[in-house]
Amino acid sequence: MIAITLPDGSVKHFDAGVTPMDVAKSISEGFARNVISASFNDVTVETTTPLTEDGSLVLYTWNNEEGKKAFWHSSAHILAQALEQLYPGIKLTIGPAIENGFYYDVDFGDKTISEKDLKEIEDRMLEIARGKHEFSIRESSKADALDYYKKQGNEYKVELIENLEDGTITFCDHDTFTDLCRGGHIPNTGIVKAVKLMSIAGAYWRGDEKNKQLTRIYGISFPKQKDLTEYLELLEQAKQRDHRKLGKELELFTFSQKVGQGLPLWLPKGAALRERLENFLKKAQKKAGYEMVVTPHIGQKELYVTSGHYAKYGADSFQPIHTPSEGEEFLLKPMNCPHHCEIYNSKPWSYKDLPKRFAEFGTVYRYEQSGELHGLTRVRGFTQDDAHIFCTPDQLDDEFKKVIDLVLYVFGSLGFENFYTQVSLRDPDKPEKYIGSLENWEKAEKAIINAAEAKGLDYKIEYGEAAFYGPKLDFMVKDALGRSWQLGTIQVDYNLPERFELEYKGSDNDTHRPVMIHRAPFGSMERFVAILLEHTGGNFPLWLMPEQVSILSLSEKYEKYSQKVLNLLENDEIRALVDNRNETIGKKIREAEMNKIPYMLIVGEQEEKDGTVSVRKHGEGDLGTMTPKAFSELIQQAIKEESKEFNV
């Protein structure tokens, strides 16, 4: 008998050779029908894998990330089989599951494939799926595996196998199809009920542009047709909310090939929106005891050698700037923290002076590959809402919690209510990725976990996601479409204070090292605005809108009264404009709606006579008539309710 421990801690005993599916059936037949994948002692296994020793078993359904991964990986096998049937002689390479779906990279040789062929491939995939063919894993010797693919003339699989150790090689079989595979599949093809092939792209073998370019086919699949329909509807919504589309329509930002890829240009409305966001955070930061600083856009290479940034990022960043002085090199600033360390180092400090909180909206530059650039979410020049807190070890816990409060205030003020936190720790198996002593890392990691627990945060631990100089607490926000984004981050750092030899005089009159906290509630202004755009669909909170009110004049005759209303609103610091174009009122309303303007005031003969305005609200319609003063009070109250003060 072997003991199988389930996630709830319960232990069940079975004869050796029991399979995960047998265990699922022992729980309930209904549950077993939904089980599609499993892991045993943290290793992915098939639902038909015989278990021969004591261990911990986790059974996954479609509702688990691991279940989806197995589902989509299995679907990639079905895609590969369909392609082999429709295009004999092709060479398959790799076909993994990805965050949403799967892909397969294929060498089609002299055959061509286009978007119009995808429907036929989908139909063949569903035909295969309906056969309910079981997935099974079998071991193979290295010699047999090499022989199999050499006979096929598939140099890609041969290359993969040559890098594997004998005794670790397995194939996955279903129906008449076989593929080199590590494992992790659903029980049979019949579970796949809906398939959509999304796109075709080029991809270099192993991501190296020196290698041959392959054809990559992206797809997604579901256990129900309804799930696919809902997913496609969500994608359509995402297209409408794409920040690149909305940014252009709302005239917030643009890009120029002459300026350079990944270097956004903020238009007047976008610049004003950024300024409001900055002022919003500056106001809260001032209450929290931060002091604003300003640092240059460049720094001597030695600065980033000292910090460790050059060793980690130098080769992949913008190349050094050489000056007329021989041997003198500067770099575009990739991080603000080394500059802030030098600000701290500009004078001696006592423990009585700490904590010191230096904040800056500092623009940094990183050379992202052109293929990775994407609107405002991935750029080469971006502004971080950066701050660095220098404190004593005894102050660390309290300071970290205060930063959590500030991040939560920012999220609440901007409508990000659905989020969780991720404690990003070092990878214990790859110490070479990090700088600093093990002791300092352990102290920093413990401080973050303690603060997260004290604040009652819903967090999960991710190993290998730490920054190279310290662990961090990342805030993962879900937007209106349910997509997750990493926004705010807080990091504990014992390493940079050592590298920059930062000191303070303690109560014992000896010198000590401060602890450094890095924090950025927005992350970067560019990425934050992009995510906020997609989350709100361009309908920002009223206090943040570039234009809060559009005054729509029925004709030129009422321009003077329209201007009088405008002046009254502007005196109350309400952002408004007058639309007195020679257009129909219907067209003016439609355009104001398209431009996401929250309120429209219609002004005509009756309104001028009565000293009123007719009020419409974006997305809601007519709110009736009222005096301009009453409307001003209404909008000011709405703004007040939205923008709560930060309480320290």
Do 489 and 576 lie in one domain? The reply is no
Q: Is residue 308 part of a domain?
A: no
Do 52 and 93 lie in one domain? The reply is no
Do 265 and 409 lie in one domain? The reply is yes
Phi, psi for 598 (deg, rounded to 5): -60, -40
Do 161 and 21 lie in one domain? The reply is no
Task: Output the six-digit token pair for 295.
Answer: 């640092």
Q: Is residue 140 part of a domain?
A: yes
Any idea what the CATH number is for the domain that residue 387 is in?
Answer: 3.30.930.10
Q: Is residue 596 part of a domain?
A: yes
Identify the pLDDT of residue 585: 92
Into how many domains does the chain fold? 4
Structural domain span for residue 99: 66-230
For the chain, give the number of residues. Answer: 648
Strands, E assignment, 333-438: 356-365, 381-391, 419-425
Do 485 and 548 lie in one domain? The reply is no
| Mean per-residue pLDDT, 287-306 | 95
Do 73 and 53 lie in one domain? The reply is no
Do 515 and 555 lie in one domain? The reply is no
Residues at the binding site are 337, 388, 518
Task: Output the six-digit token pair for 404.
Answer: 């959590």
Type of residue found at 617: K
Identify the pLDDT of residue 10: 93
Whether residue 355 has a cis bond before it, omega within 30° of 0 = yes
CA dihedral sign, ordered 550, 553, 556, 560? negative
Query: How many other C-beta atoms are found inside a 10 Å radius of the C-beta of residue 598?
Result: 21
Any idea what the CATH number is for the domain that residue 158 is in?
Answer: 3.30.980.10
* CA separation for the pair 145, 136 (Å, rounded): 16
Which of 221, 12, 17, 260 is CA-nearest to residue 101?
221
Task: Output the six-digit token pair for 508.
Answer: 């014992």
Q: Are 201 and 218 in contact (CB under 8 A)?
A: yes
The predicted-structure confidence for 186-241, as pLDDT tens digits, reads as follows: 999 999 999 999 999 999 999 888 899 999 999 999 999 999 999 999 899 889 99
Do 476 and 490 lie in one domain? The reply is yes
Residue 46 has pLDDT above 90, yes or no: yes
Residues at the binding site for Zn(2+) are 337, 388, 518
Please identify every residue annotated as catalytic.
Answer: 337, 366, 384, 386, 388, 472, 518
Q: Is residue 379 part of a domain?
A: yes
> SS3 breakdown of the chain: % helix, strand, coil, rounded to 5?
40, 25, 35
**Residue where the block lists tokens 């986790």:** 58
Residue 466 has pLDDT above 90, yes or no: no
The predicted-structure confidence for 506-544, as pLDDT tens digits, reads as follows: 999 999 999 999 999 999 999 999 999 999 999 999 999
Do 440 and 506 lie in one domain? The reply is yes
Domain boundary among 536, 566, 585: 536
Q: Is residue 553 part of a domain?
A: yes
Q: Is residue 301 part of a domain?
A: no
Average pLDDT, the chain: 93
Q: Are 389 and 292 in contact (CB under 8 A)?
A: no
Please enumerate in sequence order all residues whose Cβ is within 8 A of that of 325, keeping only pairs 6 or more positions apart, or say none: none
Residue 95's pLDDT band (cuts 50, 70, 90) = very high
Query: How many other C-beta atoms are found inside a 10 Å radius of the C-beta of residue 211?
Result: 12
Residue 648 has pLDDT above 80, yes or no: no
Identify the pLDDT of residue 99: 87
| Mean per-residue pLDDT, 106-132 | 95
Q: Is residue 239 part of a domain?
A: no
Identify the pLDDT of residue 375: 94
Do 450 and 496 lie in one domain? The reply is yes
**pTM to 2 decimals?**
0.79
Residue 372's pLDDT band (cuts 50, 70, 90) = confident
* CA separation for the pair 501, 338 (Å, rounded): 12
The predicted-structure confidence for 53-82, as pLDDT tens digits, reads as follows: 999 999 999 999 999 999 999 999 999 999
Identify the pLDDT of residue 12: 93
Do 477 and 621 lie in one domain? The reply is no
Do 520 and 392 lie in one domain? The reply is yes
| Mean per-residue pLDDT, 603-622 | 94
Which of 352, 107, 338, 351 is CA-nearest to residue 215?
107
Please enumerate in sequence order all residues whose Cβ is within 8 A of that of 623, keeping only pairs 6 or more positions apart, or say none: 615, 616, 617
Any idea what the CATH number is for the domain that residue 556 is in?
Answer: 3.40.50.800
Q: Is residue 57 part of a domain?
A: yes
Beta-strand pair 101-107/213-222? antiparallel
Domain boundary among 33, 61, 89: 61
Q: Quote the percentage of the chain above a pLDDT of 90.
A: 77
Any idea what the CATH number is for the domain that residue 33 is in?
Answer: 3.10.20.30
Task: Output the six-digit token pair for 130.
Answer: 């309906």
Q: Quote the percentage of the chain above a pLDDT of 70.
A: 100
Domain boundary among 61, 94, 112: 61
